[in-house]
Amino acid sequence: MAAETGGREVVLASGSPRRRELLTLLGVPFRVQVSGEEEDSAETNPHTLAAELAGVKGRSVAALNPDALVIAADTVVAVDGVLLAKPADAAENAAFLRQLSGRTHQVFTGVSVFAGGREQAGVARTDVTFRVLAEAEIDFYAQSGEGLDKAGGYGVQGLGQALVSRIDGEFSNVVGFPMSLVIALLRGHGVPVWGALAQEAAPA
């Protein structure tokens, strides 16, 4: 059965379980179709890169689903302007954590929503400060494997929250799906966020 909202099927162009969970919380029925586009780009500005990658993924899936509303997102982590992608292995993950230890870095998530040939997009930024990490803590977290599939090499919603001393901005952006921006973009396309849930909760 097609997942429909406002007369359009909603497609999430991401395989991230965290994005699936957060979109589900908004009461938006959807299906997942992962973009096959590579995340390679020569862009070095993290804000621009997040927007570019979200747009590329979204356009790829929208081209295959012209009648659907497509949501795409991409998260980029940078410290002092240096991009930290997904670590290739535990050793690189540990190297990332050493760079982040005791410092403030930036998390940018680009979000693009496509419907009816029209795109609405934005980028959210959150500043995250790590406490000073002991080498044993770095090794333990790197060996846990939690950070291997995440930009920056950590997951703030899991064990990685113990690495963080301060967050300035939207927590859900660090998870990879800035809720306030997603809600604004969906409503801009006429999607009634929480609409279905509100109807179910209304007294008869």
Element (H, E) at 58: helix 46-64
Strands (E), 29-177: 31-32, 69-79, 82-84, 104-115, 118-130, 164-168
DSSP 3-state helix, strand, coil percentages of the chain (rounded to 5)? 40, 25, 35
> Active-site positions?
74
How far CA 192 is from CA of 92, 100, 138, in Å, comes to 42, 39, 43
